[in-house]
Amino acid sequence: MTMQNNIVSLQSSQKPKPVEMVSFNRHDIDTLMQFYSKRVGTGEWRDYAMDMLKDRAIFSVFKRASEVPIYTVHKTPKLANKQGEWSLLNANGLVLKRGRDLRQVLKVLDKKPKLVSL
C-alpha cells in the first residue's frame, strides 16, 4: 500500500473579502426621514427605497410605489472633496443640487414657487 501526499493550497480555502458598500449613517437617515415624513404628511410622497452600492448609497422617493422615483438623493463619498458627497437628482436624472451638507441639498425641494406679475 502506497501513501499519496495531497497538497492543498490554503489560498483556495480562504473566504473572499466581503464587498464594502457605502451606507447611510444614523445622522443621514434621521435627516432623510425627517424631510420625508413632512412630505408624507402632506400627501405628496408615499414610498421610499434605500440602495447601498459599492460606490454610493441612494435614497429614492416615490409618489406611488409602482412608479419610478421622483427624486433620488445620492451619497457618493469619493466626491466629498470635490463637489460634495451629496447630490439630489430628479426623475430624469438631472442634478438639482450638489453639496457637502445634506440639509442644504434638500432645501432645494422646500422652495415654494413665487407669484410673478407682469
Which residue segment(s) compose the domain that 62 sits in? 26-109
The predicted pLDDT at position 62 comes to 93
Residue 99 lies in a domain: yes
pLDDT at 12: 59
- Tens of pLDDT, residues 41-96: 988 889 999 999 999 999 999 987 777 899 999 999 998 888 889 999 999 999 99
Q: Is residue 102 part of a domain?
A: yes
pLDDT score, position 20 = 81
How far, in Å, CA of 22 to CA of 7, rounded?
Answer: 39
Examine residue 12 and state whether it is found in any structural domain, yes or no.
no
Show the beta-strand stretches assigned E in 24-104.
Answer: 47-52, 57-62, 71-75, 86-90, 95-99
Average pLDDT of every residue of the chain: 85
Whether 43 maps to a domain, the answer reads yes
In a domain, 117, yes or no: no
What is d(CA 118, CA 106) in angstroms, rounded to the nearest whole number?
A: 30
The yes-or-no verdict on residue 1 having pLDDT over 60 is: no
Q: Is 116 within the bounds of a domain?
A: no
Q: How many domains does the chain have?
A: 1
